[in-house]
Amino acid sequence: MYKRLSSVLFPIVSILLIGSLIWGYQQYQQRNAVALKSENQYQRLFHDLSYHMDRIHSELGNTLAVSSTSDGMHKKGLMNVWMLASQAQSELNQLPLTSLPVNKTEELLSRISKFAYQTSLRDLREKPLTAQEKENLRTLYKNSAEINKDLDQVQLSVLSDNLKWGDAEAVINAQGNKQQQNVIVDGLRAVDQKVGNYPPMDWGPSVSSLYEHRTVRKLGGVPVTTEDIKRKAQKFTDIDSPAIQVIQNGKGTDYRSYTASLTAPDGHLIRMDFTVDGGLLISYNDEREVGPKQVNRDTAMSKADRFLEHKGYRDMKAVAYNEYDNLGNFTYVREHDDVLVYPEKITVRVGLDNGEVIGIQASDFLNEHKDDRKFAEPKIKLKEARAQLNPDFKVSFTRKALIKNEYNEEVLCYQFGGKINDTMYRIYINTETGVEEAVEEIPAPTAGSKM
């Protein structure tokens, strides 16, 4: 009996064993193929990064080498620097450096890109490079030479010693073992440290404002206590709950805030963030489970309008809407003296099962709100601004809007909404210069209204 059984089972086990070996070998080959593909991609990205950094240095040198009156060459050089810095930043972000802090290098590339782009945008014949901007170019030229030297050394080691990014990634992601060394990791860490030690540069207000860390500390107001926050949370939610938990975030930093958490009568959690100074609401999040979609956009917007009015956000107007499954998101801006103030923005999230508001984000509104805004009289008439539009652009509505331009400056514009090429757009024409400041596509769900 055992002979007969073994004679039957042996071939079966043999087949299974061989099959598992074949499957395992195939899996091994697939893993190797994926690893090789990733390795080749990382190698290409790093070599492209090194190449583009070298090109940045060359373009900076070319821009400095020409005459101070060579406005065309300055513009061309700066545009090249902008494109190269953007490419280098993208390549740096794609390398497997998640746990390796190279934020200083990334920020420098971002600032170089913004500085070169915004400087090249202006008419350099009317407004040539300033002494400070030329000094910036000289400093960047010197610093980029040092960075390139270090990157070239890493690249040489990678090529000569056949170093692998997979090994570097393993070292980066290793926890609790700070003694591990890797030429790639150590080289990039040294580059970032060197960049972080460079003296601060005067990038000018238009670039610096883009990187200004807006904090609740700037809002002013009398500091509030945790008991104050509990009362504010109760009032905002209309829930008289004694079990409100309040914690302070970012204690000792510029990012101080309070988070209040409470349980609604039906058991779901509600969270709110408040400023320490003044106790102003930063965000509200009702974590109830949202059911299937039952209401349309108009019903949801009507309820969102009433919600904001009831909570003290008056004169707010919905200007954008998008939805995903059973959630809808509205963007509201304040309307003041018949002008839509886009910097004063609030995002409102609604559940489309019943149209009730389940979340708001008011940080932009808090940081940008001004009660005493004054708008200058337009220097060009609406008819003149409209004449700047593409003749094929079919205007359906016009109004005034305050937006931020490429230089992060507030500018008053005529906003024209209309259609061209079967697509709805908003076009913003500066009321002082007649220049087109911005163009944005209006998503299809809102194409039938002024939103």
To 5 degrees, how large is the angle CA 433–CA 434–CA 437? 95
DSSP state of 223: B
Contacts 24+ apart (CB under 8 A), 198-205: 198/108, 198/143, 201/111, 201/136, 201/139, 202/132, 202/136, 203/111, 203/114, 203/115, 203/136, 204/115, 204/132, 204/133
Mean pLDDT of 240-259: 78
Q: How far apart are CA 90 and CA 59, in angstroms?
A: 19
Cα 52 versus chain centre, distance: 23
Query: What is the pLDDT at residue 18?
Result: 66
Contacts of 286 (CB under 8 A, 6+ apart): 264, 268, 270, 357, 358, 359
316: enclosing H helix or E strand:
strand 316-324
CB-side neighbour CA atoms (13 Å) of 263: 5
| Ramachandran angles phi, psi of 402, nearest 5° | -100, 120
Q: For residues 115 and 159, is the Cβ–Cβ distance under 8 A?
A: no
Q: What CATH number belongs to 382-446?
A: 3.10.450
Tens digits of per-residue pLDDT, 254-307? Answer: 567 899 999 888 888 899 999 998 899 999 999 899 999 999 999 999 999 999
Q: Residue 98 CB: number of other CB atoms within 10 A?
A: 8
Cα distance between the two ends of the chain: 83
Cα 332 versus chain centre, distance: 19
Q: Residue 432 CB: number of other CB atoms within 10 A?
A: 13
CB-side neighbour CA atoms (13 Å) of 41: 12
Token duo for residue 85: 């810095």
Q: Each residue of 128-140: b (16+ CB within 10 Å) or e? A: ebeeebeebbeeb
Token duo for residue 342: 């886009």
Q: How far apart are CA 248 and CA 251, in angstroms?
A: 7
Q: For residues 259 and 284, is the Cβ–Cβ distance under 8 A?
A: no
DSSP 240-271: --S--EEEEESTTSTT-EEEEEEE-TTS-EEE
Tens digits of per-residue pLDDT, 180-239? Answer: 567 777 788 888 888 888 888 887 766 666 555 444 445 567 889 999 999 999 999 998
Q: Each residue of 304-333: b (16+ CB within 10 Å) or e? A: bbebbeeeebeebbbbbbebeeebbbbbbb
Q: How far apart are CA 232 and CA 274, in angstroms?
A: 9
Q: How far apart are CA 15 and CA 3, in angstroms?
A: 19
Helices and strands (H, E) in the chain, number of each type: 11, 12
Three-class SS of 17-73: HHHHHHHHHHHHHHHHHHHHHHHHHHHHHHHHHHHHHHHHHHHHHHHHHCCCCCHHH
Query: What is the pLDDT at residue 182?
Result: 75
Helix (H, G, I), strand (E, B) or coil at 438: strand
Query: What is the pLDDT at residue 116?
Result: 87
Q: How far apart are CA 278 and CA 222, in angstroms?
A: 5
Tens digits of per-residue pLDDT, 374-393? Answer: 999 999 999 999 999 999 99
Query: What is the pLDDT at residue 371?
Result: 84
Mean residue pLDDT across the chain: 82
Whether pLDDT at 177 is above 60: no
Mean pLDDT of 152-163: 78
Whether pLDDT at 81 is above 60: yes
Contacts of 207 (CB under 8 A, 6+ apart): 111, 114, 115, 118
Residue 448's pLDDT band (cuts 50, 70, 90) = very low
Token duo for residue 64: 């400095």
128: enclosing H helix or E strand:
none
Residue 360's pLDDT band (cuts 50, 70, 90) = very high
DSSP state of 343: E
Query: What is the pLDDT at residue 236?
Result: 94
Q: Which pTM does this prediction carry?
A: 0.64
Query: What is the pLDDT at residue 217?
Result: 43
Q: What percent of the chain has pLDDT over 90?
A: 38
Query: What is the pLDDT at residue 9?
Result: 58
Token duo for residue 330: 């509205």
Q: For residues 402 and 335, is the Cβ–Cβ distance under 8 A?
A: no
Topology (CATH) of 218-368: TATA-Binding Protein (3.30.310)
What are the residue boundaries of the structural domains of the chain, listed by start? 19-208, 218-368, 382-446
